Amino acid sequence: MRVIHKYVRSKDRVDIGNVISESGETFTVMQGASRDYNIPKSAVEAFDGPEPYNSIPFVEVLRYKVS
């Protein structure tokens, strides 16, 4: 399932941002104007309607921040 332009939340329901691209085994999520995360597609645990939920809590999402 394509997730571009979908809003993403972490396992602990923290808003992460919008998916702006997909590449290989990751998708890039943009949070605001200056934060991007390359999150593995395998981290998508479930969908709430069109919104994907990750299987990782927000504190772990920070490890995927693009520098």
Structure tokens at 50: 């069109």
Enclosing domain of residue 54: 7-64
Q: Which long-range contacts (CB under 8 A, 24 or more apart) does 28-33 make?
A: 28/66
Within a domain: 1:
no
- Count of domains for the chain: 1
Q: Is residue 2 part of a domain?
A: no
Any domain includes 20:
yes
58's enclosing H/E stretch is: helix 58-61
Q: Is residue 46 part of a domain?
A: yes
* pLDDT at residue 56, as a whole number: 94
Mean pLDDT by 10 residues, the chain (67 residues): 82 92 92 88 87 91 90
59 occurs within a structural domain: yes
**pTM here?**
0.82
Q: How far apart are CA 64 and CA 60, in angstroms?
A: 8
**CATH (domain of 15):** 2.30.30
d(CA 29, CA 5): 9
> Please, are residues 51 and 6 in contact by the beta-carbon 8 Å criterion?
yes
